[in-house]
Structures are given as structure tokens and as C-alpha cells.
């Protein structure tokens, strides 16, 4: 079974838009687990425009499934990982001024930097994932840097899916095969949704986990959160 991790950033965005605590981000995470999600993902940015450090610390105590913390590996992020000790730390290359992740790491150019960071993060007990484009050489660079797994950046797939699903998914199939051959786990995320998820899940070999946030919240407006999570879980049955 491919694990479904719900990124709860958008719940925090809604809360922060009005102040107060509605929706309650911690309750949303617990409910996502209760409704069937096998993990919770957060990306705490320095400006706290959605997930706050206080949320992360509360989530550490509240959730019972896999906790995945994404972020750019600056000292602030490393401090969070050292304190929280999540099951998974996902390294993304975007800086604080970026609205949302829009590219994977150049694992060749940043090899020395990533090696040092990964070595430090592994001391916390976290599984370390590197966010990469679906390019075999970037996957190979992630393995050389010491990563445990990769997260394939799926916006290009989502963008091309409605033109030709078969062409859109092809580089992800190749990259997943390379990752598996190198002993890396295969995760995926960014713009996966109710329409494109099942084809991706059934096509990409060795897929272990998907992380989805924005689409889950959008679909929950129409279907309700519990039903939405169940619908996504159905899409992951291959």
C-alpha cells in the first residue's frame, strides 16, 4: 500500500487569514489520521505564513502516524529537526521568498552541502528525503549524498497529464527505477490530485508515499474531509 501523507499547511493558511484558531490545525491533523491518512506533512517557513513553530511542537505530541517535516536546511530547520525528531525530514531547495516549491535540488552541484546536512540529520534518527526533479542523474546524486529516499517533484507531471498521461509519467517511471536500483525509497508530491493520482500510482514502480495538501483542502470543500481522504486512499489502490 502506498502511504498517504496529508500536508496540512493549507489548514494553517486558512486559520492565519482570520486570526484565532479556526480551523484548529492540530485537530485537523488528528482528524486526517482518524480518517485514514498514514502520515502528516508540514513545511514550516521562516515567516510562519502557514505552519508555525508552535504548531510543529504541538503536532509532535499529538499525532500518532508518520511525521514528515519539509524545509530548506538552514540552521532554523536543522534546529526544528533536532528538537522534534520526526520520522522523516524532506529537504527542499527553495528559499524563504519562494511561494511554494517549484524545482528539485541539483544534487550534483550541491553534493558536498547535502552530504553534510544529511549526515547531521541522520543523527536525529530521521529518514532523510531529497526533493528532486524526475531526472536519473539527480536521483543518482541523492544516493551519493547519502539520502534514504527521494521525493519526486510532480508539478511537471500534473501539468502535462491532461495532454498525454503516458508521456507525462515516463520520466517518473525511469527515475523511480533508478532510485530503487540504488536502494532509495520513492516518494512523490506537488500538484497531485483526484484526477491524476491513480494513473501516477499505478504507473510508477516502487512508489512508497505521496504527500498532498492543497488539492485535499480544495476537494474537502465539496466532499468533506473524511470522504476526501477516503477517496484519495481509493486512488492509491493499485
pLDDT band at 95 (very low <50, low <70, confident <90, very high): low
CATH number, domain containing residue 42: 3.20.20.70
The yes-or-no answer on residue 43 being catalytic is yes
% of the chain residues with pLDDT over 90: 95
What HEC string does the chain produce?
CCEEEEECHHHHHHHHHHCCCCCCHHHHHHHHHHCCCCEEEECCCCCCCCCCHHHHHHHHHHCCCEEEEEECCCHHHHHHHHHHCCCEEEECCCCCCCCCCCCCCCCCCCHHHHHHHHHHHHCCCCEEEEEECCCHHHHHHHHHHCCCEEEEECHHHHHHHCCCHHHHHHHHHHHHHHHHHCCCEEEEECCCCCCCHHHHHHHCCCEEEEEECHHHHHHHHHHCHHHHHHHHHHHCCC
Verify whether residue 70 is a known catalytic residue: yes
pLDDT at 103 (0 to 100) = 85
Range of the domain at 225: 3-235
Quote the pTM value: 0.95
Q: How many domains does the chain have?
A: 1
Catalytic residue among 50, 151, 190, 209: 190
Percentage of the chain beyond pLDDT 70 is 97
pLDDT value at 117 more than 90: yes
- Give tens-digit pLDDT for 185-214: 999 999 999 999 999 999 999 999 999 999
Catalytic one of 70, 140, 151, 209: 70
Question: Region 170-199: what's the mean pLDDT?
Answer: 98
pLDDT at 162: 96
Amino acid at each position: 500500500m502506498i502511504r498517504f501523507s496529508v500536508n496540512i499547511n493549507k489548514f494553517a493558511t486558512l486559520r492565519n487569514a482570520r486570526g484565532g484558531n479556526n480551523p484548529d490545525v492540530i485537530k485537523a491533523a488528528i482528524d486526517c489520521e482518524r480518517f485514514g491518512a498514514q502520515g502528516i506533512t508540514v513545511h514550516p517557513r521562516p515567516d510562519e505564513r502557514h505552519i508555525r513553530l508552535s504548531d510543529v511542537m504541538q503536532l509532535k505530541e499529538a499525532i500518532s502516524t508518520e511525521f514528515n517535516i519539509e524545509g530548506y536546511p538552514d540552521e532554523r530547520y536543522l534546529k526544528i529537526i533536532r528538537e522534534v525528531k520526526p520520522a522523516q525530514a524532506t529537504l527542499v531547495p527553495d528559499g524563504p521568498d519562494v511561494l511554494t516549491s517549484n524545482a528539485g535540488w541539483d544534487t550534483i552541484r550541491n553534493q558536498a552541502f547535502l552530504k553534510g546536512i544529511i549526515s547531521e540529520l541522520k543523527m536525529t534518527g530521521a529518514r532523510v528525503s531529497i526533493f528532486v526533479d524526475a531526472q536519473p542523474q539527480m536521483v543518482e546524486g541523492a544516493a551519493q549524498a547519502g539520502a534514504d529516499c527521494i521525493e519526486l517533484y510532480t508539478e511537471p507531471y500534473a501539468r502535462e497529464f491532461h495532454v498525454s498521461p503516458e508521456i507525462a509519467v515516463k520520466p517518473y517511471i525511469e527515475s523511480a527505477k533508478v532510485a530503487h536500483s540504488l536502494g532509495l525509497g520513492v516518494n512523490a508530491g506537488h500538484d497531485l490530485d483526484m484526477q491524476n493520482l491513480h494513473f501516477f500510482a499505478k504507473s510508477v514502480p516502487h512508489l512508497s508515499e505521496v504527500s498532498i495538501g492543497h488539492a485535499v483542502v480544495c476537494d474537502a470543500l465539496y466532499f468533506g474531509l473524511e470522504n476526501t481522504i477516503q477517496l484519495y486512499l481509493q486512488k492509491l489502490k493499485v
